[in-house]
Structure 1
Amino acid sequence: MGNAQSPPTDPRFLSSSRAFTQKELQHLSSLFDSLATQSQTNAKYISPSVFQTYFKLHGPVGERLFDLVTQERKDQRLTFEDLVVAKATYEKGTKDEIEEFMFRLVDVSGDNFVGRSDLESVMIAIFNDILCINDSEVGSSSHKDIVNIFLNAANFSVHDEKCTEEAMSFDDFRSWCAHLPTVRKLLGGLLLPPDSGRPGTQIPNLLIPKDIDTNIVLLKKEYAWHIGGALSQHELEDWKLLYHSFVNGLSFNTFLGNISNHEGPTVLIIKDKDGYIYGGYGSQKWERHAEFYGDMKCYLFQLNPKASIFRPTGANNNLQWVIYARMRKV
């Protein structure tokens, strides 16, 4: 087994090992041996550069994750024990343990405060390095604007003279993750192999007719990624544009006709006259009913000026309902 030449010195190693099956430990051992060999360290430890290249995490986030996995020793050496302990905590731990690890992860400056600048670095890394969405790509938007909508969803309630900016408490962070489930999914899976389908990295394929100017389409790739955080993986494949008021007109009957011919779930996005962008996910086909219908898979979301998802509370069944009304421009 990787690093078996030396007896374990970390008391957490044995307890962490019990979180894995023998097969899983063997897989971790093989992974460690492979990366340690690439690190040219006589297979004794993994170097930062090899770690970041394998997990495809560069810059502040990759450096911070390596720092946490090596228990902040600052010796630039990741041992087999480190890998087992980190993955046991980060992937096999309780909800509190996992979120505590993520909270420390987003403190990319390592100063024990999570400020807006830390979150900004994290979100830029997500779009640039993990999701690989380019500003110039069709269906994407300005990263600066997009990053701000995610930062605007955060609360910074900590005021400390040792910190140069307002910072997040752990409760602030958990609330932020609750409103941004895609971010939470992604941050919770960064120690998984990048080619294994990391949670939170799938972006729906936006099917927009070639004769439609993509600049008028409200649903940008980053928005679709955010909305998809509350959906299952099979619902994150092809998303087809069914209706746009600029193209199809303002007739409510046209709107309803276009979307009711589609058997699957739908996403409705609205931009009001003040520039706010929001909408909802309907899990069932849109039909005229005398009363509310739908299920607890339905939810509302906000896209601009801040990103948030609002799930149903279960207090009532007011989920989907089609009424006869005049449709405003969307």
Structure 2
Amino acid sequence: MGNSQASPASASSSRFVMASRAFSKQELDSLRALYTSLAAQSQTSRRAISRPVFLEYYGVRGPLGERLFQLVSKESGGSDGITFEDLIISKATYGRGTRDEVDEFIYQICDVTGDGVLTRSDLESVLASIHETVFAENKGVGDGSNDRTFEALLNSAVFSKDAEGVSEKAMSLSDFRNWCTLLPSLRKFLGNLLMPPDSGRPGFEVPLLHYPENISTDLLLLNKEYAWHIGGGFSQHEVQEWNLLYHSSLHGQSFNTFLGKVTNGDAQTVLIVKDTEGSVYGGYASQPWERHSDFYGDMKTFLFKLYPQASIFRPTGANKNLQWVCLAPFETSSLFYFFHCMY
């Protein structure tokens, strides 16, 4: 009969069989129950999950949600919605695949136009969707200018790829991976879009920021978008409540006052500094600030930048120069913030 090619339907069936092997019988039963429930709400005679029901359940807003739906329904063409086979194949690739497979899937999600070229405008749409998804129902003290915040996230991106028919440089997969390394909160968010929304999805949490009632908003260095970025360096259970312990404009610049405010048992702290050039940066200390004759701390400690570029830098292990209480006074031109992380 010759070497006839497999039909699209048989190829999809083969991928479904392979994808099913990534899950236990209990997991498949749970996914079947989820699919049945969502399909019943979709007015498709239970044949598929409709776009509105899919987007409402997973709660991903804007262009990013639309692109996610396109990719998940890709196997069946998406004309009637997402089939059970679509769901299993996508979740197996996205949630259980190799690191390369997952990175490629996330990279494609961020190509919101679906033209195969990841540009700055795509990333702007991605960040706008993240803001709408994560922060739309998370209003309160610490809501700064998200345009300025997300500009800093974009400023850490590199576009090195020449794309045919596109005048501007595009982001390669390698560029994208490096960007996600600098912004672990972004990687967590993009890597958990198909997790059940009631499971406390990594990358969707924003620390609750506690400030004194009488503080002027002009003094606030840390908004919720920046806190989301910094929180990407923590484990999931650590992103809960942060209390303002010290601010040089509120408490003065006495070094003894500083130590008295930030020394709080075994508390972990976040230090934020704004320098005279307007740059904002700092670090996370996993151990209390105490006077030591030498460096101390552990590998949970990390440094970060907030503006004009946002990034997180973890220790390499090349040395143990992690924490140290300097005995010199603060420069009077700097603003200091200290947040206590409550778990």
TM-score normalized with structure 2 length = 0.91
Residue 314 (structure 2) aligned to one of 292, 297, 311: 311
Offset at 1:163? 2.1
Query: Is 1:168 paired with 2:194?
Result: no
RMSD of aligned residue pairs (Cα, Å): 1.7
> Among residues 46, 49, 69, which one is paired with 2:49 in the alignment?
46
Of the three residues 58, 63, 83, the one matched with 1:60 is 63
CA contact under 8 A between 2:180 and 2:187: conserved in structure 1? yes
- Are 1:117 and 2:88 counterparts? no
Aligned with 2:246: secondary structure? coil
Kept in 2, the 8 Å contact 1:8–1:81? The answer is no
Q: Give structure 1 regions of 4+ aligned residues with deviation exceeding 4 angstroms.
A: 6-9
Alpha-carbon deviation of 1:146? Answer: 1.5
1:120-269 matches, cutoff 5 A: 120-132=124-136, 137-269=140-272
Aligned-pair distance for 1:143?
Answer: 2.1
TM-fit CA distance, 1:75: 2.0
Distance 1:137 1:207 in 2: 10
Task: Report what 1:3 is aligned to.
Answer: none
Equivalent of residue 91 in structure 2, options 84, 87, 93: 87
**Partner SS state of residue 168, structure 2:** coil
Taking the aligned partners of 2:151 and 2:312, their CA distance within structure 1 comes to 16
Q: Is 1:105 the counterpart of 2:96 in the alignment?
A: no
Structure 2: where are the runs of 5+ without partners?
1-8, 336-343
Query: For structure 1, which runs of at least 5 residues remain unmatched after alignment?
Result: 1-5
Residues 1:19 and 1:289: Cα distance change in structure 2 (over 3 Å): same
Instruction: Answer yes or no: is 1:69 the counterpart of 2:83.
Output: no
TM-score by length of 1: 0.94
Tell me, what secondary structure is at the counterpart of 1:151?
A: helix
Match for 2:282: what amino acid? G
Greater relative CO (CA pairs within 8 A, separation 6+): 2
The 8 Å contact of residues 56 and 130 in structure 1, kept in 2 or not, is answered as no
Q: Judge which range, 70-79 or 251-260, deviates more.
A: 70-79
How many residues get paired?
Answer: 324
Correspondence list, 1:279-318, <5 A: 279-318=282-321
Q: Which region of structure 1 is more displaced relative to structure 2, 51-60 or 103-112?
A: 51-60
Q: 1:121 to 1:9 in 2, by over 3 A?
A: closer
Task: Measure the CA separation in 1 of the matches of 2:241 and 2:217.
Answer: 16
Amino acid at match of 2:305: Q
Partner of 1:96: 100
**Which residue identity does 1:277 align to in structure 2?**
V
